[in-house]
Structure 1
Amino acid sequence: MSHLTYNQSKLTNDIDKLVKNVLFKNLRGKRLQDQLNDLYRPFMFMYYSQDALTYSQDSVNYSQAINAFMNSTITLIGSEYPCDVIWDYERSQKLITKLLEYKDSIMRECYDWRYQESQNQKGLECYFKNLIGNKSRVLVVFIELKYLKNQRHHLTIHDFYNHIKKLRKLISKKNACFKHLTGYAWALEQGYKYGGFHCHLVLTYDNSKRYSDWYIAKTIGEKWQEVTEGIGTYHSSHDTETKYSFEKNGKLGVGRIHRDNPQEVQNAFTVARYLTKSDKYDQKLKVWLPKMQTFGHGKFKEK
């Protein structure tokens, strides 16, 4: 794990948000100047620094909004050292003008992402339909894997990728907390508010072999903490109180699901679909590695 002096996930999230607020929410004036003076220097340090990184920025992909910010500021600032740059009214107005040139490409990225999510959702629904239809009852587990707030500034997208890669390898072996696993799906995201990297994971187990969804979720969370060497944490909705609140409203989609109970099956589909909701564009990754897969699921093997 890298020991950074900046928070890569938060900085990339904040710059992405700033550009979109300029283009689509009319961010202007002193509010824009203040945000630029707060974010520009640390972001440029992050983008160009080679001391804290073991890779060059060319090995990382950024969102269209961040690319627009980089191209526009390079044009405006030139070779001026970032610490000497002050974003006054005139300079911020010039930046707005430059950013407007990239509005179409940013919108196109959004349209492409939403289309891909719709395709992912179709494939996921077909996959889960087979999983649930193949057993009289299955155990559905849904968990969010993330990082401790006071550790996020140490992380890079490389760290996140490596942690997920290790976890997927453990899932494929189907041992310990993944024993009697019948299927799974995962989605990688970057929080909108704080920009934290996280993973949504939904799994199905053979309910004739595994009984406690709360215990399974707990052990998966502990396995994530082990994979991340103690800096990971998790959120589970499998405690009795949370499950009861969903159940009394007829929306419980985790735990034991009977294939001959249409409401339970539909609720389980709703849980799975959360991984591919097209209204979560703000939570897509703003920084990623080339060819990095941000969504996937297992393969259904009919018995």
Structure 2
Amino acid sequence: MNLTTVLWNESSICTAIEDFVYDVCFEQMDEQQFKQTLSTLYEAFQHFYSAQLHYADSIQYFIQCKYWIDHFLNGLSASHILNFNIQQVQTLCCVLSQYKYDYWNEHARFIQQEEQNRISLHQYLTKLFTHYSELLFVRVDLGYLKEQQVYMGIENVQQHMSILRNRIANQDGCFMGLQGYAWALEQGENKGYHCHLLLIYDPSKRQNDWYLADQVWQMWNSITGNTGVHFNCNTTEYKQQFMRNDRLGVGPIRCSNPVEVSNALNAAMYLVNPEKYAQHLRAKIPYMRSFGTGQFEVHWRRGVAQTLQRCGFKSNND
């Protein structure tokens, strides 16, 4: 990442800080490079830091470093970081180097959480596959225009996601006919905050999967005040790429067909991938979730007890 040309936003500054702290701990960095990078990140972070947010360990160590910098600067501008003496630099390096002992723990916690999410999603989808004869799988990725990301902090994202999940739960508009859903909120270096959304429809009520994904995008754009972007995984061109290798996991899925079910499961598991550590959220609202599914046991779904028995699960009423 070229720090001199970045149009900073909350997502990009947190990603850059994490990369910087990692490099201090595990890579070689000379004193001048350390001071230049630190000066740039310190000044940019000032505009986005919020004491109300919960940050990843790497950002928390940078915040500790920030307090030391505030003390050293004593009211001077961030450019004076370039004039810090060797003792000040060593103090700041020492603070950041403590992350070395937490990096692997944080990484392991992410993997463990994603593995648990995979199990949860797999169980949820297995119940649906066992309960229905056919389902319509729709995948759409939702995010923000590049030039608008500077205005989109995690609090804005949480607000937009809350509205979206509420409309999904109420089956408003394009969500009518849903039998299930799952979502995962992530953070990318270039894409910023974005959501992977899986929607599972009743094919007797909904047929055109491309159109449904497009309508979801229209709703997202309305929720975000025309600042949204999307990627439709149900276009003909995109689906043909997977059809050639018999790996298509979106569109109509016959639940009695093992290949189609396996493909749908594989496509769904992209939402919860332990290998996507680079996509983890660096800033969260306290108690905020980054993954969720619908509920299988709901009052309008008939024959739930029999399905749970076939799947080997116990009903909540047992």
**Would the TM-score normalized by the shorter structure come out above 0.5?**
yes
1:127 maps to amino acid: Y
1:92, CA displacement in angstroms?
4.4
Give the match's secondary structure for 1:12.
Answer: helix
Which is worse superposed, 287-296 or 27-36? 27-36
Pair 1:46 & 2:41 matched: no
Pair 1:115 & 2:115 matched: no
**Aligned with 2:229 (options 222, 233, 258):** 233
1:83 maps to amino acid: A
Aligned residues of 1:142 and 1:254 also touching (Cα < 8 A): yes
Deviations along 1:228-249, one digit per CA (max 9) or x if unpaired, are 0100111112111111011101
Taking structure 1 as reference, are residues 195 and 209 closer, same or farther at Cα in structure 2, changes over 3 Å only?
closer
Give the match's secondary structure for 1:40.
Answer: helix
Give the match's secondary structure for 2:198.
Answer: strand
**Aligned with 2:81 (options 71, 86, 89):** 86
Taking structure 1 as reference, are residues 92 and 244 closer, same or farther at Cα in structure 2, changes over 3 Å only?
farther
Give the match's secondary structure for 1:11.
Answer: helix
Aligned-residue CA RMSD in angstroms?
Answer: 1.9
Give the match's secondary structure for 1:59.
Answer: coil
Pair 1:140 & 2:137 matched: yes
Aligned partners of 2:238 and 2:32: how far apart in 1?
44
Query: Structure 2: where are the runs of 5+ without partners?
Result: 1-6, 303-318
Aligned residues of 1:182 and 1:204 also touching (Cα < 8 A): yes
2:177 match: 180
Give the match's secondary structure for 1:85.
Answer: helix
Deviations along 1:153-200, one digit per CA (max 9) or x if unpaired, are 111111100000000010011121101100001111110x23601111
TM-score, scaled to structure 1: 0.89
Aligned residues of 1:37 and 1:86 also touching (Cα < 8 A): yes
Give the match's secondary structure for 1:113.
Answer: helix
**Aligned with 1:247 (options 243, 246, 250):** 243
Deviations along 1:19-49, one digit per CA (max 9) or x if unpaired, are 12322344445544432232221113432xx
Pair 1:11 & 2:13 matched: yes
Aligned partners of 1:34 and 1:23: how far apart in 2?
17
1:282, CA displacement in angstroms?
1.3
1:263, CA displacement in angstroms?
1.3
2:158 maps to amino acid: Y
Aligned partners of 2:157 and 2:276: how far apart in 1?
20
Aligned residues of 2:32 and 2:82 also touching (Cα < 8 A): no
Aligned partners of 1:209 and 1:72: how far apart in 2?
56
Pair 1:194 & 2:190 matched: yes
**Aligned with 2:125 (options 124, 128, 133):** 128
Taking structure 1 as reference, are residues 46 and 34 closer, same or farther at Cα in structure 2, changes over 3 Å only?
same
Structure number with bigger Rg: 2
Q: How does 1:28-47 map to 2 (within 5 A)?
A: 28-47=30-49
**Count of aligned pairs:** 289
Aligned residues of 2:12 and 2:190 also touching (Cα < 8 A): yes
Give the match's secondary structure for 2:46.
Answer: helix
2:230 maps to amino acid: Y
Aligned partners of 1:154 and 1:76: how far apart in 2?
26
1:77, CA displacement in angstroms?
4.8
2:169 maps to amino acid: S
Taking structure 1 as reference, are residues 184 and 74 closer, same or farther at Cα in structure 2, changes over 3 Å only?
same
1:208, CA displacement in angstroms?
1.7
Query: Structure 1: where are the runs of 5+ without partners?
Result: 48-56
1:7 maps to amino acid: N
2:58 match: 65
2:294 match: 298
Aligned partners of 1:28 and 1:237: how far apart in 2?
45
2:26 maps to amino acid: F
Give the match's secondary structure for 2:214.
Answer: helix
Aligned partners of 1:195 and 1:61: how far apart in 2?
21
Aligned partners of 1:117 and 1:83: how far apart in 2?
38
Taking structure 1 as reference, are residues 130 and 20 closer, same or farther at Cα in structure 2, changes over 3 Å only?
same
1:84, CA displacement in angstroms?
4.5
Taking structure 1 as reference, are residues 258 and 18 closer, same or farther at Cα in structure 2, changes over 3 Å only?
same
1:287 match: 283
**Aligned with 2:68 (options 38, 63, 75):** 75
Misfit runs of 4+, over 3 Å: 24-34, 87-94
Aligned residues of 1:138 and 1:257 also touching (Cα < 8 A): yes
Deviations along 1:120-165, one digit per CA (max 9) or x if unpaired, are 1101100011112211111001111100011101111111000000
